[in-house]
Amino acid sequence: MLDVSSVLEVLKPVQDPELQKSLVELNMIRNVEIDGGTVRFTLVLTTPACPLREFIVEDCQRAVKQLPGVEEVLVDVTAETPSQKSLPDRTGIDGVKNIIAISSGKGGVGKSTVAVNVAVALAKLGAKVGLIDADIYGPNAPTMLGLADAKVMVQQGAQGEVLQPAFNHGVKLVSMAFLIDPDQPVIWRGPMLNGVIRQFLYQVAWGDLDYLIVDMPPGTGDAQLTLTQAVPMAGAVIVTTPQTVALLDSRRGLKMFQQMGVPVLGIVENMSYFIPPDLPDRQYDLFGSGGGEKTSKELNIPLLGCIPLEISLREGGDGGVPIVVGEPDSASGKALIAIAKAIAAKVSIAALTS
């Protein structure tokens, strides 16, 4: 007899491939309905950016089709991103589920490019996303998001004055660039940074967010400490290039996050190889190869992906149309979308298993 409990019974052995637990036990199968030979249910994933969405749906369909009398299995897929656990000594942000730092040991390795494209890719996949550009040395996220001329507006909220973030490509943005005078030397900007980071966390009308991405200044300075001491973080991603110096610097960053109790979700290797625009099938290892993989193995941190050096990626950044929107099928576009999915998966696993 085809009924709800027999459907749940055959679905029990189907596991979330990353959490390695039963979908039924994780309460990811809901609203089972049976209409003649048609079985319909909702699969609630832990992130709209789930990289294994299709596989999970197929596994569910295969399992239910084993039941006699089933002709059709319809799966409605939705997502509820789990929230990172709050910590006794750190204050979360109301409505913001997961805060992720994008960090690098040194400047110019493509940290902002990764932060912006990951944010936009997650938004495109259906998540609610915010981005804090906390980089005092090169606050270029507004340009990359097509918001170079935007201003953050101050509004009177219930809790006093709040900043209204700028918005484009599905991402809410606040940036140091909206606040600083570009002609002022960087040395004068440093002292204001800590206060500004707190303001960007707690005095912005973020609304509900699945992910708040923070584009950090390079290195292991005060901004990192302020952030990791203030809010509970879902994790940090370290961007590096294949060059050894960049790798050494990123090790320092890794240690700092670990000491502050922030999980390091993985390493992203940028500028891994060069793809000439006129010879898109060729690949040149300009800075040597395999550095990210080697570090990932040595430090036992996952390698989330490798991004090629591609002219269209820089052009997308300069033109305010991130490559994951402008040319999602390019090599770097694909790499960045896969990295966004990998980050989302790691965050969900951490939230559900910690």
Ligand X SMILES: Nc1ncnc2c1ncn2[C@@H]1O[C@H](COP(=O)(O)OP(=O)(O)OP(=O)(O)O)[C@@H](O)[C@H]1O
Residues contributing to the annotated binding site for ATP: 105-112
Q: How far apart are CA 188 and CA 6, in angstroms?
A: 67
In angstroms, give the least distance from the CB of 140 to ligand X.
Answer: 5
In the complex, what is the shortest distance from the CB of residue 274 to ligand X, in angstroms, rounded to a whole number?
8
Q: Compare residues 272 and 296 and give the one whose CB is closer to ligand X.
A: 272
Residues of this chain that interact with ligand X (CB under 6 A) are: 104, 107-113, 135, 137-138, 140, 218, 270-271, 307, 309-310, 313-314, 317, 332
Selection from 321, 296, 323, 295 nearest residue 307 by Cα: 323
Cα(322)–Cα(213) distance, integer angstroms: 16
**Residue listed under structure tokens 């402008």:** 326
- Contact between residue 291 and residue 301 where contact means Cβ atoms under 8 Å apart: no
Task: Identify the DSSP state of 284.
Answer: B
Instruction: Tell me whether residue 126 or residue 146 sits nearer to ligand X (CB atom).
Output: 146
Q: Which is nearer to ligand X, 82 or 110 (CB)?
A: 110
Q: Which two tokens stand for residue 21?
A: 């637990």
| Closest distance of CB 305 from ligand X, Å | 11
* Complete edge-to-edge strand list for the sheet that includes strand 303-309: 166-168, 171-175, 129-133, 209-215, 96-104, 235-240, 264-274, 303-309
Minimal distance, residue 120 CB to ligand X, in Å: 13
Q: Tell the smallest beta-carbon distance from residue 332 to ligand X (Å).
A: 6
Q: Which alpha helices (H) appear in 190-330, and where do they start and end?
A: 193-202, 222-230, 244-259, 291-299, 311-319, 323-326
Kind of pairing between the strands at 166-168 and 171-175: antiparallel
CB of 224 to ligand X, least distance (A): 14
Question: Which one, 220 or 332, has the nearer CB to ligand X?
Answer: 332
- Residue closer to ligand X (CB basis): 126 or 221: 221
Percent of the chain as helix, strand, coil, to the nearest 5? 35, 25, 40
**CB nearer ligand X, residue 23 or residue 100:** 100
